[in-house]
Structure 1
């Protein structure tokens, strides 16, 4: 990493400062200037906003074709490409009103186009949009995106599921690099907080062509916080309160940008007690605490745009086992997890005469500690949550990950765009605890790919091919447990895979955006699946790996239709996913002491389903919106048995009013939603049926402008009627613990 930093600053020292400038006026179709339109250049991570005359300007731009995007609430997003033939260019925009939504550039796909231009369907939402829906945590927010669910352990631990696939089948990206934090376990949370994120993009379906192994089921791509507008300073303070857990979230952030240099830093502290069920019982040890720090420095010139980011996340989260102590303390009891993740990434855009090279280098250190209970009688009723004696982790894993991602965007030929890239990582896992769940291991990934995009009139086609290789070596371990030997035999394995994708987008009848995509994906078995041989206290079971597992391979077909008119929108997305060698864990029927023994096995499987919805904006009631969506997925093995942890069908209806009140309240909203989750009786052999339930959520908020200070306010009530329910995807279902009851969430954000 020191070498990388040296290259960065040497490069910065030798590049000449660009003098190019773009300015212009942004107006409506009625020729009225627009104040506050966001102008952004994604390649440079540089932006500004219009003044009261609709005027903007951006200086110090490289002498290459630049894509500029204009975004404003209530108007269609426009994106234009400018090629400099002189040092100062004028670029004006005329924005048309848009009833439904404003588009943004999609970063998770390789050609960075607006969603309406993408061949691949991608869901995108800002963190503010998720918060306005009443999301108590980042994972709760993702759960509101159609096709995305979560396996939860209380409030503090959530794992994403995309169309029935989870764990290592869903790849998570943050600040441009893979998030590696031992994500093989259902009780291992995301390990990332919303305070360091601007927005999230979700690819539903195989993305192995773009990201390699572990993207078989899809990708969740977190876009980091943007820098402040050019030559400006921003300060933000955010405070929220959660009534059910008596939880608080405090966040602060500062940003300063100049023409060439940009800086930001922010921090956050979350603290929650045990959540309360509708029958007024707290689920003991679902409490958690989280501390986050995030910083970034950016630089751009006529040759390079470079960003260095650092993120620190420290979380202590309890592992619930029973209903015991009833209090509102926030320090986790034994057993609990102590998790620390440090991420450093360095991203660059190198601008050549008619092409560009992008690169991202990353380093992640993840430390996972699990502390068990001391089996002393006096501790069974001890309510003092401070630990008087030093504790030693029963499980202590350190995971070092070095990653790289380099893409060459070749010269564009008319409307034909191509990218050649290679990616890889080096990973080392070490044990330092009293117990061993997975052995010391070294993993190396390398992948190379080629992808192309071609557009003509209303038609677009995109495809590509990729080759990956993964090598995995482990050490031999002999572990004594209760006078028994558990042996981890060494393994030395290599997995090789080819993947490909092909997609086509067009407009039917000049109104219906239609997409059809075919893609293959793969996933090499992870360390836990290959080598486990011991008690996993996070899941309260004895797990046995399988050294004979093969790579999972899948083929998925997707088809989607979107119809938009001035006051009505409807969409339909369907998919069929065939997976060979699907890996899952299954009970053997035997026990090791009091722990049930589970073993990893595999079988061919299939998943199919989709998401369907409509959005009505009746005229002349321009402030009213009615959203409806239905999502379902069915997963089966070839032997007709159902796959485990498949989300139940869900129907969501939302009535939302949007309004401004004079000049003091902007972007005001009031909403009420009904989430109807259906009975889940299509279950695996070791699951039980889950009953259906209905949840009502309400919310309201808006922005108040006071001189140079703006206040963003919101109040949400989740589970308004305090309904008792148990989610099929709750890991506490086996204990018959209800999910969280009524929860008031109040947020206030100061922006200076």
Structure 2
């Protein structure tokens, strides 16, 4: 790691000295924010430059002042709750102090996006499909983890392994095909596993951007499906100290959480910190009762410190995420069908039914896993005249332990020590003949070491690098964008031996993994435009080519994957996936309705998937995962898992087609009424049948969400922004399962009835606290998501139902107290 710290030292000590000479190229932007109808000052309005993360809050007169703004053309974003966000392009060199007028609106259409484009721009002008979720929307939504909270975004769903673990799926593609970025650093923590979450605390998140479609230009290999950009550690406006205290509780699984954060900004010196705690017991549903070992607990701490000056900014971010998760085995008593647990009994174990105390505990039983994720990031942005140089460096250490021996709970059955160094250097050309262009290089060094006595993937080293150029130009009603990128990835997998004991208890070693090296390279590109041919209409079209190199699990797996009840074999001959996607969209917005519709076609060459292996006699191939799992008397000897089905990775050409539509009714002058309908659909197919099936695995069923929302009180003496919403979440039958090799089964349709209510409580014109209440699945429907991995656990012999069902009726309450000094 010495070379890593040398690079950091150079970045910290030398580059700021060079950039300091450019301080003369900065200016101060002043103005006033008012109500367009009444001309009254909007005290508390937020003014923000997304490109370089500088902003201010309007004072009691509506005035604001932002110093250290670089000279050039930039997007300024002005927002105030209950008003339509104003997004305007200004030239800071010729800017004159002015008033910005905001109009009231119950529908927020004009938002700024920074993901996947060369510079900040209005989401309506972006040629790509992007969904933005702000802090208030996150607080008003309920879920058991971050991806669960945002899973109602059209085109975004989740692969789940219980309430603690969810992985994003964008338009039918998940796992390593989706890149998660957190505060400028690509999140790296064993993305290949279904039972491995993204390891980001939702309480600390302030904003999320979901990019749908290939985004390899800015983020390299793996962004085949899209990007989820999560912003947590954002500095507060100049001259303020702000914070929040948040509490949350779920009734179904007794999940309780707390969060506190505080941050300041004084003359460009920024600092902040936060802490989050969360704990949950076993959840319940109507068919399974309490689902044993679905409990979890986590804690997360983070902070930042930096300088935001005329020469630019440099900010150091540190977070530490620590989570312990119970792994739901779904094993049942053959006579009653009830879920069971294994407990020690001398030198072996026996089955017991969990007690109420066992269910209510927030300390997971065996099998369980513990994940610790340390992340250190250094964000630098330096003004070079009208241009800008950015350098982001990151170090991540993801340590994962899977514990499966009931007789020895501290034994690390399977462990991974993953270390990653990320780098991203880009030169942002502000204007060159009206084009705004980024040129850069980014990638990562990565090393993974096994730390348990069992192994599933080999130790390996990985090097990844890519050079790119992206550009955009706005000409009256048309915005053009595009770019090209070249990537290389080098993988060095190391030979590893499996240690075991024979009957005489002598040590023996078998070669489990052979050493190999693979190199991958590819060219990615995209071109697109948006066309506002009418003040109320806009069109979008984008064509993109992306690629993804195979993961180590896909290339070299050779072991039991207990979190998914499989024994997996890799395929060292796999090729890179490459995609060609066409996106088209149309938008309409007036005083009464808003419509957003998009369609896509995605052809993926060499799509990688796994399938069950067949034995020589034609049945399913079964691997005895633990030879000591059960003796002749039926007593198990410690491990909480037994025989597993064998799967192997394979690939074939495939295509995905679908789209999303959002139809929003907000009739004038009934601004308090808001009727929203969203529909998303994706169909994934192989070009050739495999064991009689052409369907891709992990494709969610069609989804229709109907919501009616009413703002009952916009502003009064002590109550403001009081809303009530009623929602019907409909998921249609997924009868296009990948049934080849008995890999998936058809999933029935289900509808969930949800409600929500929220308000701000004010005193002397300031919000003292906000409260949000939500009820999910009020009719207590027993259902299974098609993307739930718990669907394929043991069969209940008394009912014939396979697997564990999702969470039943749940009420959630959040209380948020803002702090300002």
CA contact (8 A) 1:134 1:699 kept: no
What are the equivalent positions in structure 2 for 1:252-651 lying under 5 Å apart? 252-279=260-287, 281-322=289-330, 323-324=339-340, 325-326=354-355, 327-374=359-406, 391-480=410-499, 485=510, 487-588=512-613, 589-593=620-624, 594-640=643-689, 641-651=694-704
Q: CA RMSD in A?
A: 2.0
Q: Does 1:680 align with 2:725?
A: no
Which residue of structure 1 aligns with residue 790 of structure 2? 732
Task: Encode CA deviations 1:119-162: one digit per residue, 9 max, x unaligned.
Answer: 22211101430331323321112211100001111111111111
| Distance in 1 between residues matched to 2:83 and 2:364, nearest whole Å | 47
| Distance in 2 between residues matched to 1:567 and 1:65, nearest whole Å | 33
CA contact (8 A) 1:21 1:89 kept: no
Post-superposition shift, 1:12? 5.2
CA contact (8 A) 1:43 1:349 kept: no
* The one of 754, 757, 773 aligned to 1:715: 773
Q: Does 1:245 align with 2:312?
A: no
Post-superposition shift, 1:280? 7.0
Post-superposition shift, 1:478? 2.1
| Distance in 2 between residues matched to 1:235 and 1:172, nearest whole Å | 26
TM-score, length of structure 2 as denominator length: 0.87
| Distance in 2 between residues matched to 1:168 and 1:507, nearest whole Å | 35
Number of equivalences = 738
Q: Does 1:104 align with 2:104?
A: no
Q: Is the deviation greater in 98-107 or in 2-11?
A: 2-11
Q: Secondary structure at the match of 2:563?
A: coil
Q: Secondary structure at the match of 2:261?
A: strand
Is there any run of 5+ residues in structure 1 with no aligned partner, and where?
377-388
Post-superposition shift, 1:486? 5.2
CA contact (8 A) 2:583 2:600 kept: yes
CA contact (8 A) 1:634 1:646 kept: yes
Q: Secondary structure at the match of 1:714?
A: strand
* The one of 753, 761, 770 aligned to 1:696: 753
Q: Does 1:660 align with 2:714?
A: yes
Q: Is the deviation greater in 728-737 or in 25-34?
A: 25-34
Task: Encode CA deviations 1:361-398: one digit per residue, 9 max, x unaligned.
Answer: 11111011100133x5xxxxxxxxxxxx6612111111
CA contact (8 A) 2:440 2:468 kept: yes
Is there any run of 5+ residues in structure 2 with no aligned partner, and where?
331-338, 341-353, 503-508, 614-619, 625-642, 794-802
Q: Is the deviation greater in 130-139 or in 550-559?
A: 130-139
Post-superposition shift, 1:728? 1.1
TM-score, length of structure 1 as denominator length: 0.95
| Distance in 2 between residues matched to 1:653 and 1:390, nearest whole Å | 46
Q: Secondary structure at the match of 2:729?
A: strand
Which residue of structure 2 aligns with residue 379 of structure 1? none
CA contact (8 A) 1:567 1:617 kept: yes
Task: Encode CA deviations 1:310-330: one digit per residue, 9 max, x unaligned.
Answer: 111000001111323142111
What are the equivalent positions in structure 2 for 1:45-194 lying under 5 Å apart? 45-62=53-70, 66-83=74-91, 90-101=97-108, 103-109=110-116, 110-194=118-202
Are the structure 2 counterparts of residues 338 and 193 from structure 1 closer, same or farther at C-alpha, using a change threshold of 3 Å?
same
| Distance in 2 between residues matched to 1:98 and 1:704, nearest whole Å | 21
| Distance in 2 between residues matched to 1:413 and 1:20, nearest whole Å | 21
What are the equivalent positions in structure 2 for 1:9-48 lying under 5 Å apart? 15=20, 20-30=27-37, 31-48=39-56
Task: Encode CA deviations 1:381-425: one digit per residue, 9 max, x unaligned.
Answer: xxxxxxxx6612111111110111111112513422222111111
CA contact (8 A) 2:75 2:121 kept: no
| Distance in 2 between residues matched to 1:511 and 1:304, nearest whole Å | 37
| Distance in 2 between residues matched to 1:85 and 1:675, nearest whole Å | 50
| Distance in 2 between residues matched to 1:96 and 1:699, nearest whole Å | 26
Q: Is the deviation greater in 122-131 or in 356-365?
A: 122-131
